[in-house]
Amino acid sequence: MKVVSNFRLVVLYLFCLSVDTKLPSREDKRLLLDDPTLIHSELQALKHEVQSLRSQLLDQSRSKSGEGETYIIWGKKACPALNGTRTVYSGISSGRQYTNHGSGSNTLCLPHNPDPTPVDFPEHFQSDISSFTGSLHGAEYQFTYRNIAIEDDVPCAVCMVSNAASTLMVPAKTSCPAGWTVQYTGVLTSGSDYTNHYGTDYLCLDDNPEYATEGARMHSYNGKLFYPVHAVCGSLPCPPYKNQQLVSCVVCSI
């Protein structure tokens, strides 16, 4: 592989450079040969430099080849500009209508520029399209917080972290496990517990959310709905959890 070959050449160059620049004078030769601590520190410095260079070369290789890990940020129109993250596309949060027990149960990030289905796609169900197809509805917030108000539409964005091999959403945390990097922190959301509502997936909504500008603000179309999530004591131990307390979340990469 070309990157590996280039990496080996650079490592050899660094080693030779290190040997050349670290050669002792006659006065220092005895001190250097008799000082294992100094030798160890020099080797550790060279090892650190090689590891850093290797990481940079791998990141460049992944970026050029399109490798990396993706995740969706809910409540934002673009991805955070950190950790080698870029926005794949900005979209519209959508899912099934909140009282509909059919259609899909997961939430989607729909692009702003949809393409039509094939022209020869069968249309035998058109006589009663509401009964023989699933449906997609735009999403609305069901609470007011910072920049958003109840009934505002929910934006989303698909993100790619070029220097990551995996991403993870951790509920009830605002920090990541050791070795993982924070992509964004947020509040946990889902459907509601109302009797005639149906459950949806748990999603991490960015804690500084935005509203979509495509639709009219604060118009209640009651499609896919975002509600905050609270803890319930019982099988869930309290402490450390607190009854009725809203739940945080964080999205991490590694």
- Could you tell me which residue, 25 or 251, shows the higher pLDDT? 251
CA distance to 109, 175, 251, per residue, from 167 (Å): 17, 14, 7
Predicted local confidence at residue 82, as pLDDT:
87
- pLDDT for 31-78, tens place per residue? 455 567 767 777 777 777 776 666 555 555 544 555 789 999 999 999
Query: Residue 8: is its pLDDT beyond 70?
Result: no
User: Residue 3 — very low, low, confident or very high, per pLDDT cuts 50/70/90?
Assistant: very low
Decide: residue 141, CB within 10 A, 0-12 exposed, 13-18 middle, 19+ buried.
buried
Residues 6+ apart with CB under 8 A from 222: 97, 98, 140
With CA atoms as reference, report the closest residue to 137 among 76, 198, 70, 210.
198
Q: Which residue's entry shows tokens 């209640």?
A: 220
181/198 Cα distance (integer angstroms): 34
Q: Which residue's entry shows tokens 């951790």?
A: 170
Domain ranges of the chain: 2-65, 69-253
Predicted local confidence at residue 132, as pLDDT:
72
User: Residue 4 — very low, low, confident or very high, per pLDDT cuts 50/70/90?
Assistant: very low
237/241 Cα distance (integer angstroms): 6
- Cα 3 off chain centre by: 27
- pLDDT for 178-234, tens place per residue? 999 999 999 999 998 887 888 899 999 999 999 997 655 657 788 899 999 999 999
The residue ranges of DSSP E strands in the chain, in sequence order, are 69-74, 85-95, 108-111, 137-141, 155-161, 167-171, 181-190, 203-206, 224-228, 248-253
With CA atoms as reference, report the closest residue to 204 among 74, 76, 26, 79.
74
196/131 Cα distance (integer angstroms): 19
Mean pLDDT of the 234-248 span: 96
Question: Under CATH, which architecture does the 69-253 domain have?
Answer: Beta Complex (2.170)
Pull the structure tokens for residue 206: 């960015």
Q: Which helix (H) or strand (E) holds 132?
A: helix 129-132
The reply to whether the predicted model has a pTM over 0.85 is no
Predicted local confidence at residue 43, as pLDDT:
76
With CA atoms as reference, report the closest residue to 59 among 36, 84, 86.
84
- pLDDT for 112-157, tens place per residue? 999 988 888 876 555 555 567 788 999 999 999 999 999 999 999 9
How many Cβ atoms from other residues are within 10 Å of residue 146's Cβ? 9
